[in-house]
Amino acid sequence: MKILFITNRLPHADVVGGHRLIYQRMEQLKARGHWVGLIALVMEENRQHLNALQHQFDHVAAIPYIPRPFSHRLLNDYLNPILPAIFWKNHSIEMKKTIGQTAQEHRCDLLIAEFSEMGQYLYRNPYLSAVHKIVSCHRCLSDTFQKYITTPGVPPSIRLKSAIQLERLITYEFEMYNAMDHILTLTPEDRFTLLHHA
């Protein structure tokens, strides 16, 4: 099977947290004989791992992460009618095109977007042909934003930003999940959280 992973930074053995889990998942699938590819948004400081990953896996592409100016971020954080800020922050037309081209060129059977915010590349992507799509949800974004609003000690600016975006986030996040073939969660509790919001 040809499996293409989509991530918001390079997964590798020396990182902790979710990206290490992604790397281990990729290693295990490769060891079982699958074709494993990766397309990642990459900040300059993460490029040092690129060469090793390119030798280890069948296809690795790094799309430069381009930080937006503060004024552009501020406008989109509060007023973007389509993409909630957490999705917009990781948005790249180049990434959308590259995913579509790679999936077609290598005839990928399965695309896995790691982290919900990367699911946007499998949802409403005009460059992507019909393919089996999975979002690996490391946390429910809507639930996280609700917690920001209600947790004591969270700065008022983050509470306000979360409250303004919450309805739009819930709508977008769950429309995206509904468009996928499968959703993976890390724990049964995460699964119940998603089902509660759905």
- Rounded to whole angstroms, the Cα distance separating 151 from 162 reads 12
C-alpha distances out from residue 27 to 21, 30, 34, 58, 138, Å: 10, 5, 10, 11, 19
Alpha helices in 36-92 (DSSP H): 50-56, 70-79, 85-88
Amino acid letter, residue 46: N
- Predicted local confidence at residue 127, as pLDDT: 97
Q: What is the pLDDT of residue 40?
A: 96
pLDDT score of 151 more than 90: no
Q: Which amino acid, 91?
A: H
Assess contact for 11 and 42: CB atoms under 8 A: no
Total Cβ atoms within 10 A of residue 102? 20
pLDDT tier at 25, thresholds 50, 70, 90: very high
User: Three-state SS for 43?
Assistant: coil
**Which fold is adopted by the domain 2-192?**
Rossmann fold (3.40.50)
- At residue 10 the predicted structure's pLDDT band, cuts being 50, 70 and 90, is very high
Please tell me the distance from the alpha carbon of residue 115 to that of residue 22, in angstroms, as a whole number.
10
- Name the pTM for this structure: 0.90
Q: What is the mean pLDDT of residues 155-165?
A: 82
Collapsing DSSP to helix, strand or coil, 34 comes out as coil
Q: How far apart are alpha carbons 185 and 163 in whole angstroms?
A: 25
CB 30 within 8 A of CB 62: no
**CA pair distance 161, 165, nearest whole angstrom:** 6
Instruction: Note whether 52 and 75 are within 8 A (CB).
Output: no
